Amino acid sequence: MPEFILVIIESIRNFMDLGGPVLYLIAALLVVMWFMILERILYFRGPHKQLVRAAIEEWEGRSERDSWAAHQVREQLVSSVAVKMREYLPMIQACVALAPLFGLLGTVTGMIEVFQVMAITGTSNARAMAGGVSQATVPTMAGMVAALSGLFLSFWLQRKFEQERELLSENLTLDH
């Protein structure tokens, strides 16, 4: 294995040790969140277009589009495509919201570590408290960075969902 990869792995391991066990939760949350984000981006680039095309073809194949039943079919077509578009969006938004909360959990566990050190060694041993302070601050930062990394794309995916739903609704015209 190339040396720079070993250096990267070692740096990640040191960072994870510095922040404590909560960083593993944040890392797992980050992997899940980004998996869902990438899946949604790939969905909009591929299968979504085919689903929209099929819905439009089904609508265009109808001979009658003015009755109450035709309106219900149109709404059903739009809704079925919208359900597929929105598939992971609430989970992505939940991951974005959970990341800073996991960071705060790390803050609390790190402060507990500081208080335990203070109880055992007293308040004069700054070196002994430093490990707990890093366990309190590193997860907070990691949780905020994780949330920020998904926040923009979460908003973009939500906006894309709304635009695509509106566009499909407009493409399924009521006139012949």
4 located within any domain: no
Q: Please state the pTM of the whole predicted model.
A: 0.82
- Work out the percent of the chain whose per-residue pLDDT is above 90: 54
16 located within any domain: no
d(CA 103, CA 97): 11
14 located within any domain: no
Question: Exposed (0-12), middle (13-18) or buried (19+): which is 169, by Cβ within 10 Å?
Answer: middle
Q: Is the pLDDT of residue 174 over 70?
A: no
**DSSP 3-state percent helix, strand, coil across the chain (nearest 5):** 85, 0, 15
Give the closest residue to 18 by CA, choosing from 100, 122, 113: 113
pLDDT at 150: 94
134 located within any domain: yes
Neighbours of 65 (CB within 10 A): 16
pLDDT at 108: 87
What range defines the domain where residue 68 resides?
Answer: 21-171
pLDDT digits (tens, 9 = 90+) for 87-119: 999 999 999 999 999 999 988 888 887 787 777
31 located within any domain: yes
Confidence class for position 16, pLDDT limits 50, 70, 90: confident
Total domains in the fold of the chain: 1
